[in-house]
């Protein structure tokens, strides 16, 4: 397993900042030969079509660079609004939180489907 | 129907799009909208403010708090003196854009709000008015 990048978006980004993040992150993936990218958007109170497109772009560019992207922590109100807006974000995988996203990237089983794992979900990763 | 309060803000620079999101959030919260509705209002505002800045060459946003019999509402009016939209019907379709966006701004914000009206004249500008209501 190669390295993973964890990006936490903590500010309401204006458009140029979102574009800069897209470029910086793509460069970082190449530089570190990362195999996975986790983007935590739990602090974002809205995702409009511009931010949605940026997330989709990152996922697509990462895929070309042989890395998987998972967007984690989307607030329920944001998810409802995105669907109504008509934003589909093709190719973007999502997970409920950082821990689940890590499990997806590292290929570990998510609790529930797998037997005899108990609730050892919080094991160190 | 009465207008209880109003405020006008400039939409010229990119940072004004962010400012309009914050203003609309504050107004929607104060008007008592629940979180999902606040999110829809703010998202629609973001889409329409971006249209005003990017395609309209800048303009302004008027935010109004409405009072009507047994409901209250928030009305957002985006206006610019830009090039106008030659074919509104086409511009309202999902995925149609003359720029680099996804073409969801107008059609998407219509879905997010309860009322939607657009008026545009080529060479004179565009005005979009959206309203979301809340039962009391």
Interchain contact, A85 vs B15, CB within 8 Å: no
Would you state the pLDDT for residue A118? 38
Cβ contacts of A52 on chain B, cutoff 8 Å: 102
Q: Which residue in B48, B108, B112, B116 has the most chain A C-beta atoms within 10 A of its own C-beta, making it the best mutation to test that interface?
A: B108
CB contact (8 A) between residue B46 and residue A53: no
ipTM > 0.85? yes
Q: What would the mean pLDDT of B110-118 be, rounded to a whole number?
A: 97
| Rounded Cα distance, B68 and A21, in Å | 44
Residue B102 has pLDDT above 70, yes or no: yes
Confidence band for A9, pLDDT divided at 50, 70 and 90: very high
Summarised one tens digit per residue, pLDDT across range B14-38 is: 999 999 999 999 999 999 999 999 9
To the nearest whole number, what is the mean pLDDT of chain A?
86
What would the pLDDT profile of A107-121 be if each residue is shown by its tens digit? 865 454 433 333 433
Q: How far is A111 from chain B (nearest CA, A)?
A: 29
Q: Judge contact between B4 and B66, C-beta under 8 A.
A: yes
- State whether residue B30 sits within 8 Å of chain A by CB: no
**Range in A2-6, A18-22, A37-41 with the lowest mean pLDDT:** A2-6
Q: What is the mean pLDDT of residues B46-59?
A: 96
* B contacts of A18 (beta carbons < 8 Å): none
CA pair distance B36, B102, nearest whole angstrom: 23
Residue A108: predicted pLDDT: 63
Residue B92 has pLDDT above 70, yes or no: yes
In this complex, is the C-beta atom of B23 within 8 Å of any C-beta atom belonging to chain A? Answer: no
B contact test, residue of A43, A55, A77 with most B CBs within 10 A: A77
B28 touches chain A (CB under 8 A): no
| Distance between CA atoms of residues B130 and B62, nearest Å | 11
| Helix B105-112 × helix B35-54 angle, to 10° | 150
């Amino acid at each position: 397993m190669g390295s993973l990048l964890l990006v936490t978006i903590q500010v309401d980004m204006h458009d140029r900042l979102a574009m800069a993040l897209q470029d910086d992150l793509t460069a970082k993936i190449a530089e570190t030969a990362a195999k996975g990218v986790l983007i935590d958007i739990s602090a974002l109170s809205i995702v409009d079509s511009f931010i949605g497109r940026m997330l989709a772009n990152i996922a697509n560019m990462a895929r070309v660079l042989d890395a998987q992207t998972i967007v984690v922590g989307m607030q329920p109100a944001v998810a409802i609004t995105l669907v109504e807006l008509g934003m589909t974000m093709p190719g973007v995988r999502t997970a409920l939180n950082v821990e689940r996203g890590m499990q997806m990237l590292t290929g570990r089983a998510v609790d529930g489907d797998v037997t005899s794992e108990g609730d050892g979900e919080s094991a160190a990763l | 129907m009465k207008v209880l309060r109003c405020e006008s803000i400039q939409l010229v620079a990119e940072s004004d799009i962010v400012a309009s999101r914050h203003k609309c959030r504050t107004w929607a919260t104060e008007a008592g909208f629940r979180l999902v509705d606040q999110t829809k209002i703010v998202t629609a505002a973001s889409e329409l403010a971006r249209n005003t800045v990017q395609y309209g060459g800048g303009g302004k946003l008027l935010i109004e708090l409405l009072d009507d019999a047994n409901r209250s509402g928030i009305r957002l009016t985006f206006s610019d003196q830009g090039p106008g939209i030659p074919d509104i019907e086409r511009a309202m379709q999902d995925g149609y854009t003359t720029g680099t966006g996804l073409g969801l701004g107008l059609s998407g914000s219509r879905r997010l709000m309860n009322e939607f009206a657009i008026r545009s004249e080529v060479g004179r500008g565009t005005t979009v008015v959206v309203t979301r209501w809340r039962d009391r």
